[in-house]
C-alpha cells in the first residue's frame, strides 16, 4: 500500500495557511479571511481524502489551490506582499500535490490496494 504523501503535504499546508496571518502578521482583512477559510477547507478536504480516498476530494483541493494562486488579485491584497507570496506559493504547492494525487497510476495503485 502506497502512502498518501501528497495529502500529508496538503494537510500541513492547510494548517500553515490557517496560522500564517498570525505568524506573518497580515494586515489586510481580505488576506486574513482568505487564509483562514481556505486553510480550513484544505484541511477538511485533505482529511476526508485520507479517510475515504476518492478522486473528487483531490479535485476540490485542486480548485482551492487554483483559487489561492489568483485570489490576491481578485480580492485586492497584492499590496501586502508577504500575504500575496505566501498565498500564491501555498496555492501552487496545493495545486501540484492535488493534481499529482489525481494521476491515473495513483488511482490504479490505490484501487489495487483497496483504497479508491
pLDDT digits (tens, 9 = 90+) for 8-17: 898 999 999 9
Q: Tell me which residue has cell 476518492.
A: 54
Question: How much is the pLDDT for 2?
Answer: 45
Secondary structure (3-state) at 92 = helix
Number of domains forming the structure of the chain: 1
CB-based contact 62:98 (threshold 8 Å): yes
Residue span of the structural domain in which 52 resides: 5-112
Record the pTM: 0.80
pLDDT digits (tens, 9 = 90+) for 11-50: 999 999 999 999 999 999 999 999 999 999 999 988 887 7
Cα(55)–Cα(61) distance, rounded to whole angstroms? 10
Cα(96)–Cα(102) distance, rounded to whole angstroms? 10
Task: Give the phi and the psi of residue 78 in degrees, each rounded to 5.
Answer: -65, -25
Amino acid at each position: 500500500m502506497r502512502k498518501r504523501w501528497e495529502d500529508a503535504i496538503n494537510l500541513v499546508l492547510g494548517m500553515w495557511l490557517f496560522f500564517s496571518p498570525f505568524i506573518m502578521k497580515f494586515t489586510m482583512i481580505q488576506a486574513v479571511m482568505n487564509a483562514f477559510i481556505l486553510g480550513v477547507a484544505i484541511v477538511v478536504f485533505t482529511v476526508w481524502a485520507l479517510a475515504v480516498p476518492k478522486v473528487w476530494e483531490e479535485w476540490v483541493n485542486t480548485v482551492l489551490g487554483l483559487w489561492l494562486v489568483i485570489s490576491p488579485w481578485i480580492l485586492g491584497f497584492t499590496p501586502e506582499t508577504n500575504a500575496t507570496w505566501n498565498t500564491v506559493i501555498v496555492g501552487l504547492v496545493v495545486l501540484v500535490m492535488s493534481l499529482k494525487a489525481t494521476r491515473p497510476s495513483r488511482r490504479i495503485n490505490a484501487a489495487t490496494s483497496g483504497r479508491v
